[in-house]
Amino acid sequence: MTAIQEPKKSNRGFASMDPEKQRAIARKGGQNVPDEKRSFSQNPELAAKAGRKGGQSVDPTKRSFSRDHQLASEAGRKGGHASHSKPRTAAE
């Protein structure tokens, strides 16, 4: 009779930590952000400014989903086909 070996559980990395320790680390990350930059929901003007800045960094010919419904549909279709097709191998 062969004994079934369970895979070794890694003791490295964030996911292997105690959930309370994960929360403590996550809290520290949030505390390092200044209040004025912490949440776009608290400052709609800051959110709008960031959105404009992001939009300006994209080539105007490539940010046209809102103006070109057909282009948006084709992109969605490609994404759907890619996510529902057979699994890719490492060589692809």
Average pLDDT over residues 66-90: 73
CA 78/CA 83 separation, integer angstroms: 9
**Please, what sign has the CA dihedral across residues 83, 85, 86, 91?**
negative
pLDDT tens digit sequence for 18-43 = 999 988 888 887 677 777 666 776 77
pTM reported for the whole predicted model = 0.30
> In what helix (H) or strand (E) does residue 70 lie, and over which residues does it extend?
helix 69-84
Assess whether pLDDT exceeds 60 at residue 88.
Answer: no
Who contacts 86 (Cβ-Cβ below 8 Å, separation ≥6)?
Answer: none
Instruction: Check residue 20 and give its pLDDT.
Output: 93
